[in-house]
Amino acid sequence: MAPSIFTKLAEVEARYEELERLLADPEVIARQAQFQKLAKERADLEELVQTYRRHRQVQRALEENAPLLREPDAELRQMAREEELRLERERAALEERIKVLLLPPDPNDSRNVMLEIRAGTGGEEAALFASDLFRMYSRYAERKRWRVDILSMSESASHGLKEVVALISSPTGSGVYSELKYESGVHRVQRVPETEAQGRIHTSAATVAVLPEAEEVDVRIEDKDLRIEVMRSGGPGGQSVNTTDSAVQILHIPTGIIVRCQQEKSQHKNRALAMKILRSKLLEMERDKQEAAEREARRSQVRSGDRSEKIRTYNFPQDRLTDHRIGLTRHNLSKILDGEIQEIIDALRAHFQAEALKGQEATG
C-alpha cells in the first residue's frame, strides 16, 4: 500500500483511541447526546482500525519469520516458506479490505428505506410476482430483526399486489439502506401460471425501488408547491376506512410527483405518511441528478440510477436466480423467496465496492 494510506490509517487509529478515552469520561457519559454521537463515530471506525492492527501483526510475523528461511535445516526452511505464503495471502486480503474501508462512505448507508414494489408487464402474474418479492424482502427483514410498516398497498383481483410502499427500519440504527440499495431495478420472473393449461412459460416483471428515508431537514417542501386532496378510501379495510374521507393524495406541483396514502383511519396520519413518502422521492430525485452529473464528469460509476434495466431473473422451471449485473447464478428459489438473500446482497456489495475501487484508482 502507498505510504499515504499508512499515514491516513495512523490518523484514524489516533482518533479511535481518542474516542475510547472520551467515551470513558464521566462528563461525556453524562451528556447522552454527545455520548451517542461519539459512540457512533467510534463504531464507524472500529472495523478499519482492527483490520489495520491485524495488518501490523501480520507484517511483524513476516519479519520474524524471515530469518527462518535461511536456516540450514531443510524441514524448518520448508515450514517457514509455508508460513510465509500463508501470511502473505492474509496480508494481501487485509490490504484489499483496508482499501474498501477507506472508500468514501455513502451518506445514506445508515438510513432506513422506503421500499416500493410495482407490478409491471404481465397482468395478474406480474401482480402475484410483486407479492412474492414483497414477501421475500419482508422475510429478509424479519431475519435482520428490522421492522416493516406498510404505508400504501393496492391489491389485484388475484390477491397479488399492483403496488406496495413500505418503510423498513432498524430499531438498532443499523443501515438498512446499505443492505438493500442494490435491489432497485426491474425483476423478471419466468414460470408457468396456475391458469396455464398447456404448461407454457409466462414472462412477467415487477419494479423495485429502494429509497433512503428522508428527514424533514433533507428536503425543503413549500406549502405553495403542494396540492392536497382528501377522499374516501377504497378496497378492504372495515367500517371507517371505507366510509370516511381519510385517504390523502398529495401532488408536488414542481415535479409532478403524486403520492397517495390510505392505510390509516386518520386523515392526519395518512397525510404524515404521504409526506414521508414524498420527501424520500424528492431526495432520490436529487441524488439521481447528482449521480448523472458525476457520470458525465467521470465514466466510472458504482450505481446506475436507471431502473428500466433488467437486473435479475427468477426462472422457476430451472429453479434458478440470475443477477445479470454481476453474472451471479443461484438455485433453490423457494429459499430465496423466503428471504434467504444475504449471499446475493453480499456478492452485490463486493462487486460494486470493487468497481468503486477501480474508479478511485483511475482518478487518483
DSSP 306-358: -TTSEEEEEETTTTEEEETTTTEEEE-HHHHTTT--HHHHHHHHHHHHHHHHH
Could you tell me which of 304, 323, 305 has the C-alpha nearest to residue 314?
A: 323
Separation CA 180–CA 183 (nearest Å): 6
Position 241 scores a pLDDT of 44
Q: Which CATH architecture has domain 113-293+308-359?
A: 2-Layer Sandwich (3.30)
SS3 150: strand
Position 295 scores a pLDDT of 53
Position 306 scores a pLDDT of 37
Please say whether the beta carbons of 107 and 312 come within 8 A.
Answer: no
Position 355 scores a pLDDT of 86
For the stretch 115-156, pLDDT in tens is: 999 999 888 999 999 999 999 999 999 999 999 999 889 998
pLDDT at 327 over 90: yes
Residue spans per domain, the chain: 3-101, 113-293+308-359
What are the percentages of helix, strand and coil residues in the chain, rounded to 5? Answer: 50, 20, 30
The class of domain 3-101 in CATH terms is mainly alpha
**CA triplet 218, 257, 226: central angle to 5 degrees?**
75
Strand partners, 161: 155
pLDDT at 309 over 50: yes
Separation CA 94–CA 296 (nearest Å): 33
Residues 6 or more apart from 114 whose CB is under 8 A from it?
151, 165, 166, 167, 209, 210, 211, 212, 213, 276, 277, 280, 281
Position 244 scores a pLDDT of 59
Q: How far apart are the first and last CA of the chain?
A: 14
Could you tell me which of 84, 272, 15 has the C-alpha nearest to residue 167?
A: 272
For the stretch 104-114, pLDDT in tens is: 878 888 888 99
Q: Which three cell numbers stand for residue 160?
A: 397479488
For the stretch 163-201, pLDDT in tens is: 999 999 998 777 899 999 999 999 999 998 876 767 788
Could you tell me which of 180, 20, 59, 42 has the C-alpha nearest to residue 109?
A: 180
Percent of the chain at pLDDT above 70? 88
User: Which long-range CB contacts under 8 A does 285-288 form with residues at least 24 apart?
Assistant: 285/255, 285/257, 286/219, 287/108, 287/212
Separation CA 208–CA 174 (nearest Å): 22
Which of the two residues, 219 and 319, has the higher pLDDT score? 319
Q: Provide the pairing of β-strand 320-323 with 310-315.
A: antiparallel
pTM exceeding the 0.75 threshold for the entire prediction = no
SS3 147: strand
Position 159 scores a pLDDT of 86
CA-CA distances (angstroms) from residue 236 to 112, 159, 239, 272?
A: 28, 12, 9, 21
Which of the two residues, 234 and 292, has the higher pLDDT score? 292
pLDDT at 50 over 60: yes
**Average per-residue pLDDT in the chain?**
86
For the stretch 191-248, pLDDT in tens is: 988 767 677 889 999 999 998 887 655 677 888 888 988 876 655 444 444 445 778 8
- Say which residue the cell 389485484 belongs to: 156
Position 331 scores a pLDDT of 95
The four Cα atoms 352, 355, 356, 358 give a dihedral, to 10 degrees, of 160
CA-based Rg of the chain, rounded to a whole angstrom?
Answer: 26
pLDDT at 66 over 70: yes
